[in-house]
Amino acid sequence: ASCLPGAKAKALWLGLGRDSGRPGEGVLKPVLEPQAEEGIWPLLGLSGNRVPCLPPLWGGGQDRALGPGAFWHLEDACALVPAVFGTGPEPHGPLLREARGASGYCPLLSDGDVLCLPGSIVSAPGPVLVPTRLQTELVLRCYQETDCDLCVRVAIHLAVHGHWEEPKGEEKFQRAADSELEEPRNAFLQAQVVLSFQAYPTARCVLLEVQVPAALVQPGQSVGSVVFDCFEAALGAEVRIWSYTQPRYQKELNLTQHLPDCKGLEVRDSIQSCWALPWLNVSADGDDVHLVLDVSEEQRFGLSLYWNQVQGPTKPWWHRNLTGPQTITLNHTDLFPCLCIQVWPLEPDSVRTSICPFREDPRAHRNLWHAARLQLLPQRGWRIDAPCSLPAEATLCWQALGGGPCQSLVPLLPRVNVTINKALELPLLNVHPNLCVQVSSWEKLQLQKCLWVDSLGPLKDDMLLVETQGPHDNRSVCALEPSGCTPLLSMASTRAARLGDQLLQDLQSGQCLLLWDDDLRALWACPMDKYVHQRWALVWLACLLFAAVLFLLLLFKKDRVKVWLRLLKEDIRAGAAARSRAALLLYSAEDSGFERLVGALASALCQLPLRVAVDLWSRLELSTQGPLAWFHAQRRQTLQEGGVVVLLFSPGAVALCQEWLQDGARAPAPQGPHDAFAASLSCVLPDFLQGRAPGRYVGAYFDGLLHSEAVPALFRSVPVFSLPSQLPGFLGALHEPGDTRPGLLGERARQVSQALQPALDQLLQVPGDPRDSGDGTRDGT
């Protein structure tokens, strides 16, 4: 590079660590052998034909650098590149095409050792040169087209720091008068810039002295950059670079960079150490992940799986020395975002390559949160243990005793970025079991744990108060509730507002625990147990008062109360039993008078209450489904619920039964679209013939319409009752077995008879009724 007009620079390079053994491998190659096809190639410019970008030529003879510890006269090649000044002659070489300026003489530095010791920061006596920014670029240093090494090119940008001290009074005029006779003071700004480069197993330092004409620069102005072409480093290494001045006027610049390995370089064919490297591919197969290593059958190599943690060193997990092609299977539960794979040939000083293929894998991130553990430590400490770094934030929240979500204390207590495997301290004055730590990632809650449950016990019924200090020493207090922070002295219908005065008294009397405090706000936990006890005491007092009044009433109305309680008990038991029984009424639709009688019976049975089903109330369903389908559905539901099917016999029903029995298997056709009785005979009669009727069926007929002998003998295998004369027995058969009570059934029978008798009398008084003809019937007298 070239300098500003009149600028001077001189440099000394000292290399510490392992030497590659090749002559002429300094930081800057001073002499280029004519027959060697070597040069420095920027890696970013290798997308096509490679054009060697040669380093600048240096003076020959004794000034030639022959290895570590050598030094140079930087003749015609000072290390300052101007950034803002005018143009000048073209540069001497193509390495830094933006260089400007003319050559100048650079005196020789001492050949003693250079130590990289920054020292303490001192005040600048005036304007000085300081480094402002470090910039790196990866380049290849090639001896042949297929024999290259990886280098790091470092540029240090310099600027002017500090201001000139203006002279005062007569001194200013005196200096102006003598300006022609006296050489200008501080004609050059001079700086010794140190560049430290560390990359295991080497450590190198460069010391450069730069002088810039003071008349050409202004304070705060950038003056250019110092460029060092080639710091050699191993593939995949981590390099750390520092730059500062001696003496040091500001904090040193530092930069850490991870160099790519053979797998990450597009020019690995030019680096011989990458040729023998085992190549690794990762493939997925269901829940398994396969690591496929494509190497020759006899090649021996090492394989290591490790967790690459940001905080702290890497943590090894699995290591093997293997031979030949290998396929290693991992379960999906073993995947983590920081799980990396390192592979290398088992040779001395071999290059290792590492990949971390699971950084964006959703399964790996799920496994990471499943493996993370939130621990609460004594003395208000907490820690998250996890195999990898977590992009998460932690905050405190308040968990109320009644449940519900934990209420965040942000912005009172700010969020904290999570650092794994490191103990952190909570900003609390006292601990409380209702305080919990929440860990969230991308606004999603991942972990939560309440503080010291084992030592402090379960959650408490405490109220969290937020005290805010306003201007003029004004205080406001609100209670943290699910609906928000409720002011204590408000008309809200919340628990805190109702007990606002009492809570303020507790706070002033020191009964609340201070959890956190700063200059403007404070958090208090106030116990609510005593208010809960007072509320329950009032409830118990009201119950005792009611019991006493009831006892006095019982004393005055003892006999009447006994009767009422007995009837109430029997009615409840009977009603519960009746409600559990369903009844399906089947009858033959002969005329409207008989249908009114059946309807009166069904309505009276519903008052017991019973759940009654009758086709008279389901004409729409009968028209839609048909009589047979409707009967099948009602019969199945009634029998499944433990109910009973009631057969109401009439002259028409008896005739249909006898016709069915005479014809055998062929059932007679229904008499009408709403006649469910005729349709039901195909199912009812087989139950009687096969002995399945007892317990499922009950028979009945009405007094004055049919003689008991007219009922076919087949149906007498079940109880057959005459209504209303045998209503108690009929109602007893409709109840659950063993739940009959004669006294209650008599009262129910009387109610049903009163509802049934008017319809029966009206039917029997119809003149010319065919049922009075004498075949199987009797008159109503």
What confidence tens digit (pLDDT) does each residue in 702-758 have? 988 888 888 888 888 899 999 989 988 888 888 766 555 666 778 888 888 888 888
621 lies in the same domain as 713: yes
Q: In whole angstroms, what is the distance from residue 206 CA to residue 185 CA?
A: 29
Residue with structure tokens 């950034």? 83
Q: Give the residue from 578, 726, 712 showing the smallest Cα distance to 647.
A: 712
Q: In whole angstroms, what is the distance from residue 693 CA to residue 493 CA?
A: 64
418, 437, 456: which is the final residue of a domain? 456
Type of residue numbered 401 = L
238 lies in the same domain as 145: yes
CA 211, 212, 215, 217 dihedral sign is negative
Whether 140 and 230 have beta carbons less than 8 Å apart is answered as no
Q: In whole angstroms, what is the distance from residue 82 CA to residue 1 CA?
A: 10
**Element containing residue 632 per DSSP (H, E):** helix 627-640
Q: Give the residue from 81, 76, 255 showing the smallest Cα distance to 158.
A: 81
The encoded tokens of residue 277 equal 């490297």
Whether 745 and 731 have beta carbons less than 8 Å apart is answered as yes
Q: In whole angstroms, what is the distance from residue 35 CA to residue 18 CA?
A: 27
499 lies in the same domain as 441: no
Query: Going by DSSP bridges, is the β-strand pair 188-199/202-213 parallel, antiparallel, or unpaired?
Result: antiparallel
- Residue 142 in 3-state DSSP? strand
Whether 478 and 465 have beta carbons less than 8 Å apart is answered as yes
518 lies in the same domain as 659: no
291 lies in the same domain as 407: no
- Please report whether residue 2 resides in a domain: no
Q: In whole angstroms, what is the distance from residue 250 CA to residue 131 CA?
A: 9
What residues are paired with 193 via a beta bridge? 208, 245
692 lies in the same domain as 650: yes
471 lies in the same domain as 613: no
- Residue 31 in 3-state DSSP? coil
How far is CA 257 from its chain centroid? 33
Whether 39 and 247 have beta carbons less than 8 Å apart is answered as no
If you write DSSP's letter for every residue of 412-474 in order, what string do you get? TS--EE--TT--EE---SS--TTEEEEEEETTEEEEEEETTHHHH-S---EEEEEEEE-GGG-
If you write DSSP's letter for every residue of 717-781 in order, what string do you get? GS-EEEETTTHHHHHHHHSPTT---HHHHHHHHHHHHHHHHHHHHHHHTSTT-GGGSSSS-----
329 lies in the same domain as 468: no
CA 613, 615, 617, 620 dihedral sign is positive
- Please report whether residue 270 resides in a domain: no
- Please report whether residue 663 resides in a domain: yes
- Please report whether residue 780 resides in a domain: no
Q: In whole angstroms, what is the distance from residue 342 CA to residue 261 CA?
A: 11
If you write DSSP's letter for every residue of 552-603 in order, what string do you get? HHHHHTHHHHHHHHHHHHHHHHHHHHHHT-EEEEE-----HHHHHHHHHHHH
439 lies in the same domain as 407: yes
The torsion angles phi and psi of 529, rounded to 5 degrees, stand at -60, -45
The encoded tokens of residue 295 equal 């190497």
312, 339, 363: which is the final residue of a domain? 363
Q: In whole angstroms, what is the distance from residue 423 CA to residue 8 CA?
A: 53
Q: Give the residue from 77, 191, 43, 177 showing the smallest Cα distance to 126.
A: 191
Q: What is the 3-state secondary structure (H, E, C) of 276-307?
A: CCCEEEEEEECCEEEEEEECCCCCEEEEEEEE
280 lies in the same domain as 305: yes
440 lies in the same domain as 329: no
Q: In whole angstroms, what is the distance from residue 431 CA to residue 428 CA?
A: 7
Cβ atoms within 10 Å, residue 455: 10
Task: Give the torsion through C-alpha atoms of 485, 489, 494, 500, to 10 deg.
Answer: 100
pLDDT of amino acid 563: 62
Q: In whole angstroms, what is the distance from residue 323 CA to residue 321 CA?
A: 7
Residue 213 CB-density burial (10 A; 0-12 exposed, 13-18 middle, 19+ buried): middle
Type of residue numbered 360 = E
For residue range 306-322, list pLDDT tens digits in order. 888 766 566 778 888 88
Supply the Cα-derived Rg of the chain in whole angstroms.
52
Positions of the chain with pLDDT lower than 70, given as ranges: 1-115, 164-187, 200-201, 264-268, 276-278, 310-314, 452-455, 532-538, 540, 554, 556-580, 663-674, 736-743, 766-781
- Please report whether residue 175 resides in a domain: no
- Please report whether residue 333 resides in a domain: yes
**Element containing residue 191 per DSSP (H, E):** strand 188-199
- CB-based contacts of 692-696 (< 8 A; 24+ apart in sequence): 693/717, 693/718, 694/718, 696/639, 696/644, 696/645
Residue with structure tokens 């207590």? 413
- Please report whether residue 665 resides in a domain: yes
Q: In whole angstroms, what is the distance from residue 344 CA to residue 274 CA?
A: 10
Number of domains, the chain: 6
The encoded tokens of residue 347 equal 């040779």
Task: Give the torsion through C-alpha atoms of 537, 542, 547, 552, to 10 deg.
Answer: 130
Whether 252 and 244 have beta carbons less than 8 Å apart is answered as yes
Residue with structure tokens 């199945």? 636
359 lies in the same domain as 253: no
- Please report whether residue 3 resides in a domain: no
Q: In whole angstroms, what is the distance from residue 575 CA to residue 744 CA?
A: 11
If you write DSSP's letter for every residue of 196-251 in order, what string do you get? EEEETTEEEEEEEEEEEEGGG--TT-EEEEEEEEEEE--TT-EEEEEEEESSB-SP
The overall pTM is greater than 0.75:
no
Query: Going by DSSP bridges, is the β-strand pair 315-323/300-307 parallel, antiparallel, or unpaired?
Result: antiparallel
Q: Give the residue from 135, 136, 151, 137 showing the smallest Cα distance to 38.
A: 151
240, 264, 288: which is the final residue of a domain? 264
Q: Give the residue from 366, 368, 369, 363 showing the smallest Cα distance to 286.
A: 363
What angle, 0 to 180 degrees and rounded to 10, lies between the N-to-C axes of helices 592-606 and 742-764? 160
Per-residue buried b or exposed e for 5-33, using 16+ beta carbons within 10 Å of the residue's own CB: eebbbbbbbbbbeeeeeeebbbbbbbebe
Q: In what order do the strands lie in the sheet with 188-199?
A: 8-17, 202-213, 188-199, 238-245, 253-258
Domain that holds residue 258: 8-19+26-165+184-264
